């Protein structure tokens, strides 16, 4: 079973401006339109902002 991340970096969601459906890229219609109403212009939503990566310390000496 594959677990889909809901938050964090790299999480993509699409929102339809027509019917306001929010869905993952895998749920889009084959032509990339909204599966509910067929709108072709979808808004890409991003959650989480930047990834929390530790900053490497500069080497001493």
Mean per-residue pLDDT for 19-31? Answer: 89
The Cα 44–Cα 55 span in angstroms is 29
Name the residue with higher pLDDT: 3 or 38. Answer: 38
Name the residue with higher pLDDT: 14 or 10. Answer: 14
pLDDT digits (tens, 9 = 90+) for 30-59: 998 999 999 999 999 876 555 555 555 556
Contact by Cβ (8 Å): 35, 28: yes
Is the pTM higher than 0.85? The answer reads no
Closest-CA residue to 16 (of 2, 30, 35, 31): 35
Residue 28: other Cβ atoms inside 10 A = 15
Share of the chain above pLDDT 90, in %: 34
């Amino acid at each position: 079973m594959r677990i889909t991340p809901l938050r964090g970096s790299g999480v993509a969601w699409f929102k339809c401006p027509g019917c306001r459906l929010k869905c993952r890229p895998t749920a889009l219609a084959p032509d990339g339109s909204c599966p509910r109403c067929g709108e072709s212009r979808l808004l890409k939503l991003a959650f989480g902002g930047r990834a929390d990566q530790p900053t490497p310390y500069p080497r001493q000496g």
